[in-house]
Structure 1
Amino acid sequence: MTDDERRAIEADCQRLINLYVNLSDAQKWEELVALYTPDARFARPSKPDEFVEGRAAILEGFTARPARAQRHVIANTVVGVVDADHATAFSVIVLYLGEAAEPGELPAMSAKSPLVGTFTDKLVRTADGWRFAERIGGLDFRP
Structure 2
Amino acid sequence: MDTTERLAAIEDLRRLMARYVRYADHQRWQDLADLFTPDGSFTPHKPDGSVWMRMEGRDGIAATVGGSGGPGVTLVHHLFSDEIDVDSATAAHGVWAMEDIVTRPSDAELSEDIPFRSMHGFGHYHARFVRTDGTWYIAELEQTRLRLDFSV
TM-score, length-normalised on structure 2? 0.81
Please say if 1:53 is aligned against 2:49: no
Q: How far does residue 112 in structure 1 lie from its aligned partner after superposition?
A: 4.5
Once residues 117 and 14 of structure 1 are traced to their aligned partners in structure 2, the CA distance between those partners, rounded to angstroms, is 17
Is residue 81–residue 96 contact of structure 2 (8 Å, CA) maintained in 1? yes
Please say if 1:121 is aligned against 2:119: no
Q: How far does residue 135 in structure 1 lie from its aligned partner after superposition?
A: 0.2
The Cα RMSD (Å) is: 1.9
Q: How far does residue 100 in structure 1 lie from its aligned partner after superposition?
A: 4.4
What letter is aligned with 2:75?
Answer: Q
Is residue 45–residue 117 contact of structure 1 (8 Å, CA) maintained in 2? no
- Between the two proteins, what is the percent identity of the paired residues? 24
Residue of structure 2 aligned with 1:83, choices 88, 105, 110: 88
TM-score, length-normalised on structure 1? 0.86
Q: Summarize the Cα distance change of 1:82–1:75 in structure 2 as closer, same or farther, 3 Å threshold.
A: same
Once residues 131 and 141 of structure 1 are traced to their aligned partners in structure 2, the CA distance between those partners, rounded to angstroms, is 28
Once residues 100 and 77 of structure 1 are traced to their aligned partners in structure 2, the CA distance between those partners, rounded to angstroms, is 32
Where does residue 97 of structure 1 map in the other structure?
102
CA distances 1:64-88 after superposition (whole Å, capped 9, x unpaired): 1213101001101111100000000
Aligned residues: 135
Residue segments in structure 1 that go unaligned for 5+ positions in a row: 102-109
